[in-house]
């Protein structure tokens, strides 16, 4: 009986998560329209922090995935209570021998190449620590 209750709870929570995931793009688009009309496109920087917020949220909410894909056996793990971006955690673990998996190093190098502004600052991930 308890197992049925847990499965039912899981299914309901999953359905709610799917609904919120589907509504998010619609809500963001409507917010863009409202802000654009209300401020006549003068407040377009209203959305500046959205990417960073998503990065923090993903680092926290998807910690099991990131720990599996990015963090090596000696690395610092993503946790629920942390306040770091994914790049910051990759940067921290790049200093630790065995801190990143091969995929973690691949993402590290990919971000290093993409972020030209951080080429002379140790790369995107290490520059994000400062």
What does the alpha-carbon distance between residue 118 and residue 2 come to, in Å, rounded to a whole number?
A: 53
| pLDDT recorded at residue 67 | 95
Q: Mind listing the pLDDT tens digit for each residue in 27-78?
A: 888 888 888 788 776 666 777 777 788 889 899 999 999 999 999 999 999 9
| pLDDT recorded at residue 102 | 96
Binning pLDDT at 50, 70 and 90, where does residue 104 land?
A: very high
**Cβ of 88: how many Cβ atoms within 10 Å?**
20
| pLDDT recorded at residue 42 | 65
Instruction: Give the long-range contacts of residues 96-99, CB within 8 A, separation 24 or more.
Output: 96/72, 98/72, 98/73, 98/74, 99/71, 99/72, 99/74, 99/75
* Helices within 1-130 (DSSP H only): 2-38, 50-61, 63-69, 86-94, 102-114, 124-127
Percent of the chain at pLDDT > 90 equals 45
Q: Mind listing the pLDDT tens digit for each residue in 112-129?
A: 999 999 888 888 989 988
| pLDDT recorded at residue 44 | 64
| pLDDT recorded at residue 110 | 94
| Mean pLDDT within 91-119 | 92
């Amino acid at each position: 009986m308890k197992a049925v209750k847990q499965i039912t709870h899981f299914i309901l929570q999953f359905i709610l998560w799917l609904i919120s995931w589907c509504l998010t793009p619609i809500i963001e688009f409507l917010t863009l329209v409202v802000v654009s009309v209300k401020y006549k496109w003068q407040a377009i920087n209203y959305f500046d922090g959205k990417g960073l917020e998503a990065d923090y949220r993903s680092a926290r909410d998807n910690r099991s995935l990131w720990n599996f894909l990015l963090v090596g056996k000696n690395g610092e793990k993503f946790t629920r209570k942390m306040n770091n971006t994914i790049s910051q955690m990759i940067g921290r673990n790049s200093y630790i021998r065995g801190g990143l998996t091969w995929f973690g190093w691949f993402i590290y190098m990919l971000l290093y190449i993409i972020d030209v502004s951080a080429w002379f600052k140790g790369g995107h991930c290490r520059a994000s620590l400062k």
